[in-house]
Chain A
Amino acid sequence: MTPLTGYLLVAALLFSIGLGGALTRRNAILVLIGIELMLNAANLNLIAFWRYGPHPEALTGMMFAIFSIAVAAAEAAVGLGLVIQIHRHAHTTDLDQMNRMRG
């Protein structure tokens, strides 16, 4: 197993763990935690490809990962603000109980 394969497998496992968490948990904050894990798995992929790619001196993958970290931070701030507002409105963060818009 080459190093790149190892890192890619770890990232795939991390993504699947995050996806499973986002799909199975009921608490909205835990769903956000799962999404954060998925974003981090993507960042690990970017850095691994940058390190083992043909031109690491071009810094492309590293820059992509840094911008991705910044965007993920913005996403976390807005998402948690929304969760707090929903809790204030519905007095719960349980996603199974938020079925007012069910058709």
Chain B
Amino acid sequence: MGHPAFSVSHREQVAPMSFVFYVLAAVTLAGALAAVLLKNTVHCALALTVAFAGLALLYLELDAQFAGFAQILVYIGAVAILIVFAILLTKGSETPKDGVYSKNWLAGLAIAAGVFAVLGWAVLESARVLPGSGGTPTAAPAVTVLQIGNALMGRYVLPLEIVALLLTAALIGAVIVAMHEKEETR
């Protein structure tokens, strides 16, 4: 925002990580942690919505406007609502008496910590081995929705059709799987 000339010089001189990034990353990670750790399942779904919104704002911060708004539409508008519906249909909002964590939660926690250690080591080590890559604050790529639409209808038309087929199959499959059978249920 602001004056264009100022923002360009700002982009070249400023320290690599911006304040906005730290705030958005903190919000996203806090939402994700709450979604995983909270006891009440409905609270988990709402915290997941916060994490999705933080991710959408991170996409906007990365100049990926289309992906950011698609994230808001698809994840906050559809997936989070779907999860809330599933929680209500399965009466999952009642907290079970014998704890919410699995019996072997310690092993799961150790595996997650190990995966994060490996990933973090790989990222930091590659940043050390290849300095200067990914750090250059290039100008924001001017990607318009027109270009994205042209690419979707031109170069990426076959994946687009396959995704359309997949979504149709998933729609029909989800309806058939979740459909109420008549005398089968107790």
Residues of A within 8 A of B (CB): 1-10, 12-27, 29-30, 32-34, 36-37, 40, 43-44, 47-48, 50-52, 56-57, 59, 62-63, 65-67, 69-78, 80-85, 87-89, 93-96
B123 touches A17 (CB 8 A): no
- A10 to B59 CA separation, bound complex (whole angstroms): 13
- A13 to B152 CA separation, bound complex (whole angstroms): 31
Q: List 6 A-B contacts (CB under 8 A).
A: A3-B17, A4-B135, A13-B116, A27-B41, A47-B64, A80-B82
| Cross-chain contact of B45 among A16, A26, A33 (Cβ < 8 A) | A33
Interface secondary structure of A, over-half rule: helix
Asked if B8 lies at the interface with its beta carbon under 8 angstroms from chain A, I say no
A86 to B, closest residue via Cβ: B90
**Beyond the given A22-B108, A82-B178, A96-B103, could you list 11 further A-B residue pairs with CB under 8 A, ordered by the A residue number?**
A3-B137, A9-B120, A16-B119, A26-B96, A29-B41, A30-B100, A47-B62, A63-B151, A72-B79, A76-B82, A80-B82
The verdict on A19 contacting B115 (CB below 8 Å), with A27-B41, A63-B156, A69-B70 known, is: yes
A contact residues around B28 at 8 Å (CB): 10, 14
Interface secondary structure of B, over-half rule: helix
- A51 to B11 CA separation, bound complex (whole angstroms): 14
B contact residues around A96 at 8 Å (CB): 102-103
| Cross-chain contact of A34 among B36, B107, B109, B147 (Cβ < 8 A) | B36
- A92 to B157 CA separation, bound complex (whole angstroms): 42
B174 touches A37 (CB 8 A): no
